[in-house]
Amino acid sequence: MTDDSILNPRGYELLNLIGEGAYSKVRSAYSTNLRHNCAIKCIDKRNAPDDFVQKFLPRELEILPKLNHKNIIKVYEILAVSDGRIFIIMDYANKGDLLRYIQKHSALTEQLAQRIFCELSSAVAYCHELGFCHRDLKCENILLADDLTVRLTDFGFAREIEYDSDGEVRMSGTFCGSAAYAAPEIIQGHHYDPRKHDSWSLGVILYIMVCGSMPYDDSNVRKMLKEQLRQRVRFPSRCSSKLNPDIKDLIWRLICVDVKSRMHVSMIHLHQWTRRLEERPRKSLILSRTNVVDNPASPGR
C-alpha cells in the first residue's frame, strides 16, 4: 500500500516533501478534518537500525502524546501500519527550521533572539518538569511558525529522567545528537547528566542566534574538544563589542565545561537577560544582516 492509499481515506492529502532521512521522511499535507495544513512524518521501521526500533522510537511514541505546550510541536494523530510504517501527524511550521532561517536572514537582533530563546527554554524546562530530557537540541529541531514562534520538535532521543535510591539523577551513557551541540563530557565518552546536556545545547543555539556562526569548529571533533576544555567560548570580533554583556554571561553559564557550575534550564528565566523580555509588536522583531552562519552544523545525526 502506498502512503497516499493509507492517508487519503483518513482525510489527509499529501503535498510536498519537506524533509528526508535514512528511514523517515516528512511531507506537508492538507487535512480535511482539521481544515488546515499539517506535516506528516513517515517512519519505516523496516529500514531502521535495531536500537532505534527497540529503544528510541518507543520512547518517542510514548512521550509525544503527553506533550501540551505552546512552543512544542502539536501531534494530532499517530498511525501504525502492519507493514512497519508509522505516520505521525503534527503541526506544520511553515517558516522552516531555525538554522535555515539564520542562514537566509543572518544573525538575529537581540530582541528577536531573546523572544525565541525564551520560548525555546520554556519548552525545554517544561519537558524537564514533565520528567524527561530532549538530548537532541539543535537549530534544525527548532521549527518556526508563521509568526516566528517556536515549535520544538524531534523527540527521537528523548529519555526519562531517572533517579537512584538517594534521589540523585541517573547518568546517561548514550551519545545523542550532533557533535557540534554536544557537551564535552559526552564527546569524551563519559556518563552524563542529560539535563546538563540540554543546557549546553541551549547555549550553543543562543550563540548561533546572536553571532550567526558556530561557537566551535566541529569539522575536527578531537580538536574541538581540546578547544572546549582549554578556555571558555569566545565571540567573533565582528560582533563581540556589539553584544549585550548579559547575553555573553548567559552563554558562558550554559556553555560551561564544569558541569556542576553549568546553569540548569529551570534557572534560565531568572537570568537578567531573559527577565528583561518585554512584549513588543511582532512587526518590530526585525533581523540584523551583519553576520552569516559560516559553519552550520550538519543536519545529520
- Sorted by where each starts, the structural domains of the chain and their CATH numbers stand as 3-90 (3.30.200.20), 98-284 (1.10.510.10)
Q: Which of 136, 154, 193, 198 is labelled catalytic?
A: 136
Residue 106 pLDDT exceeds 50: yes
Residue 268 pLDDT exceeds 80: yes
235 vs 228: CA distance, rounded Å: 13
Q: pLDDT by residue (tens digit) across 284-300?
A: 444 443 334 444 333 33
Residue 239 pLDDT exceeds 90: no
Active-site residue 193, yes or no?
no
Element of type H or E holding 44: strand 36-44
Residue 32 pLDDT exceeds 80: yes
Contact 117, 206 (CB under 8 A): yes
Residue 14 pLDDT exceeds 60: yes
118 vs 107: CA distance, rounded Å: 17
pLDDT at 99: 96
Residue 177 pLDDT exceeds 90: no
Element of type H or E holding 30: strand 24-31
What does 256-267 look like in DSSP terms, one character per residue?
-S-TTTSPPGGG
> Cell 512587526 sits at which residue?
283
Q: Which amino acid is at 130?
A: L
pLDDT at 289: 38
Contact 180, 204 (CB under 8 A): yes
